[in-house]
Amino acid sequence: MIEHGVIEPAVHEGPDGWWVEVVDGDSAALVSGLAAGTSGLVTGTTVGHGVRVGRLRGVWRGGPAPAAPTETPITVDQTQYSVIVGGVGSGDAVVVKWTVHPTASASPAPRRTVHLAEVGFTEQPAPLGEVYLDADFGTPVLLAAVTSHLPGARDGWDFYVEDVRSYARGDAVDVLAAARHLGGLVARMHNALATPSSLERHPGGTADAARVRTWHQRALDTLEEALALTGGPEGERLRALAPKARASLAVLSEVDSTPVQPVHGDLHVGQVLRWEGGYAVNDFDGNPVLPPAERLAPQPTARDVAGMLASLDHVGRVALRHAPDADASRVEAWIATAHETFLASYLETLGADADRFDERLLAPFAVEQECREYVYAARHLPRWLYVPDAALPALLG
């Protein structure tokens, strides 16, 4: 609860860990308190996992709080809870993203976004501030992050699926322009993430053969999990494809070393916003299935590229699902051309830094991504199963 400029979120402990209770007015009060200075932050009193929490700490990089303290929740499905504070068309609105299930571990998002802002990357919602819980057990817990609001923003699962669905029905829609923009955007993001800053003084590096082997084993484990969890005709088709999938993943066992750097870590079209000012990349929380230390660890840029290519394929599958009368061959052809367009734009924009992209990793990482989609469908969203069921056979030829 937040009252009279005093910020004291209600953090509860449940069977699955902590969760933050956010009520009407909390988001506006949080922004107002941060903009006024950290004097509004008080010592927490909630007990979590038997440990009394420590002092709340606010960081503010923005200007004054929005003139209108109105709140507009963002209702799209997401793992966090986001609220627009201020008039949506006012120009000074901000977004408060609450960490609904905070953990006693570092979130990569503030480090990534502040680093990007410091080196001059502007194709993201600007990081304006955060509230951390400096817990008694030592590790800061991110409770909320505040960013600028991008007017008219729609994510790729919204705008791109709509575009491709119209295209599949025969409408004259330029469905390659976005792929071209995305390729350049991801390359500029990677170049910025590889630029030294006060947070990342030596952002580049090399992964040796032993580390690459751990990626190979994890990919194999994901395939086995997908096989174990997927039943019915989809499971039969997956089992028939398993030898080809293992052969593709085996490429990782042949890589002795590869460049690594900070990356997005969970990149897909849903993490890209198209707004009145162009395109922006969002949500730098990293792959949620990885431990926090690994989400912060340098990775090959091919991780992000494979994720984006997979999601372009998925856009086509979703568009066809919602337009059963559409020309499937038209969409299949678009998927292939969109992949080529994205990669060409990505490599062209990387320019002299193209040696940081190891194309050998692209195919195995793409196969691993589709295996994760099977697991995700089985564990969380069964209706999503049609997507990897169509995408993996196309990927493996």
Residue type, 136: D
Q: According to the model, what pLDDT value does residue 225 have?
A: 98
Cβ atoms of 247 and 223 within 8 Å: the answer is no
Q: Which of 240, 260, 367, 390 is nearest to 319 (CA)?
A: 390
Cβ atoms of 7 and 41 within 8 Å: the answer is yes
The gap from C-alpha 86 to its chain's centroid, in whole angstroms, comes to 25
Q: According to the model, what pLDDT value does residue 7 have?
A: 53
Cβ atoms of 124 and 280 within 8 Å: the answer is yes
The full set of domains in the chain, from first to last, is 2-148 (no CATH), 154-395 (3.90.1200.10)
Q: Which helix (H) or strand (E) holds 137?
A: none
301 token code pair: 């840029």
**236 compared with 141, residue with greater pLDDT:** 236
In this prediction, residues 79-83 reach a mean pLDDT of 83
Q: Does the pLDDT at position 223 exceed 90?
A: yes
Alpha helices in the chain (DSSP H): 26-36, 108-118, 156-168, 177-193, 209-229, 232-249, 292-296, 301-321, 328-350, 362-379, 386-395
193: exposed, middle or buried (Cβ count in 10 Å: 0-12, 13-18, 19+): buried
Q: Is the pTM of this model over 0.95?
A: no
| DSSP sequence for 346-377 | HHHHHGGGGGG--GGGHHHHHHHHHHHHHHHH
Instruction: Give the pLDDT band (50/70/90) at residue 77.
Output: low
Residue type, 322: H
SS3 for 266? coil
Q: What does the pLDDT look like over 35-67, one tens digit per residue?
A: 887 544 444 444 344 444 556 778 899 888 898
Q: According to the model, what pLDDT value does residue 94 have?
A: 95
Residue type, 94: V
Q: What percent of the chain has pLDDT over 90?
A: 65
| C-alpha to C-alpha distance for 151 and 276, rounded to whole angstroms | 6
Residue 170: how many other CB atoms lie within 10 Å: 10
Q: According to the model, what pLDDT value does residue 75 have?
A: 77
| C-alpha to C-alpha distance for 340 and 323, rounded to whole angstroms | 24
**188 compared with 326, residue with greater pLDDT:** 188
Instruction: Give the pLDDT band (50/70/90) at residue 265.
Output: very high
Polymer length of the chain: 397
What Cα–Cα distance (Å) separates residue 50 from each residue in 45, 132, 314? 12, 19, 43
Could you give the maximum distance between any two Cα atoms of the chain, in Å? 62
| C-alpha to C-alpha distance for 310 and 267, rounded to whole angstroms | 10
- What does the CA dihedral 234, 235, 240, 246 come to, rounded to 10 degrees? 110
Pick left, alpha or beta for residue 164 (phi over 0 → left; psi -120 to 50 → alpha; otherwise beta): alpha
Cβ atoms of 354 and 347 within 8 Å: the answer is yes
